[in-house]
């Protein structure tokens, strides 16, 4: 089966993406916070949601999202503020939901959904995909398959790194939640991370 991308280009793309996903950013902090809040399973599920969002964003970009946003720039504003509102809601809920209440507080299905929404509502992710992937796209070949392949690589490598970070945080968090004072501290820390991510997205509106 013939690859939609030249193998030489693919060999250049993979290490570039690996370097990027190893750099701490909003998605990594989100996976870390979910690990502290809900344990290893929630962290892996959140990482899977983030990876799915990255792949969907890449597919949408390849299908013409760039042209759509250029025609209606206000779409980025709508997406941005929906993301801010959702992150603030997560911060509030995390702060007010004891981790030991009824077992672990975060179901994997909910963690997956949260990761998906947070990734797809972050304009920085969409802008990154629109700016980064085209550098490796061959206009003489079909565009959408190239975007989907590159998006798949970003999703897989990103998932591996973020899941590892979240699992580590989950192991630490599970051991510490037995102490009520530390449990509350973990909730405050996780809520602070979500709030800081919301502030980061909101502040990018003025740039």
Whether the CB-CB separation of 170 and 70 falls below 8 Å is answered with: no
Reference 178, options 189, 188, 168, 186; nearest CA is: 186
pTM metric for this prediction: 0.73
User: Tens digits of per-residue pLDDT, 43-69?
Assistant: 999 999 999 999 999 988 888 765 666
Q: What is the pLDDT of residues 135-191, one digit of tens each?
A: 788 877 888 888 899 999 999 999 999 999 889 887 776 666 666 777 777 778 778
Provide the strand spans (E) within the chain: none
Closest to 47 (Cα-Cα) out of 173, 171, 161, 189: 161
For helices 180-203 and 74-96, the axis angle rounded to 10 degrees is 170
Q: Which of 126, 99, 121 is nearest to 30 (CA)?
A: 121
């Amino acid at each position: 089966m013939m690859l939609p991308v030249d193998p030489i280009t693919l060999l250049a793309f993979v290490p570039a993406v690996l370097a990027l996903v190893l750099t701490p950013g909003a998605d990594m902090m989100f996976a870390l916070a979910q690990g502290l809040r809900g344990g290893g399973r929630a962290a892996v599920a959140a990482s899977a949601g983030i990876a799915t969002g990255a792949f969907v964003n890449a597919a949408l970009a390849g299908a013409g999202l760039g042209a759509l946003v250029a025609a209606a720039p206000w779409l980025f504003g709508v997406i941005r503020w929906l993301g801010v509102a959702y992150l603030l809601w997560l911060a509030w809920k995390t702060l007010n939901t004891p981790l030991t209440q009824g077992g672990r507080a975060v179901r994997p299905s909910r963690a997956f959904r949260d990761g998906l929404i947070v990734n797809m509502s972050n304009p920085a992710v969409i802008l990154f995909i629109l700016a980064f992937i085209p550098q490796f796209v061959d206009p003489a070949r079909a565009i959408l398959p190239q975007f989907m392949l590159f998006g798949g690589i970003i999703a897989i490598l990103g998932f591996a790194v973020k899941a590892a970070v979240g699992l580590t945080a989950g192991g630490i968090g599970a051991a510490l939640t037995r102490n009520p004072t530390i449990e509350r501290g973990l909730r405050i820390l996780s809520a602070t991370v979500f709030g800081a991510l919301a502030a980061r997205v909101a502040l990018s509106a003025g740039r």
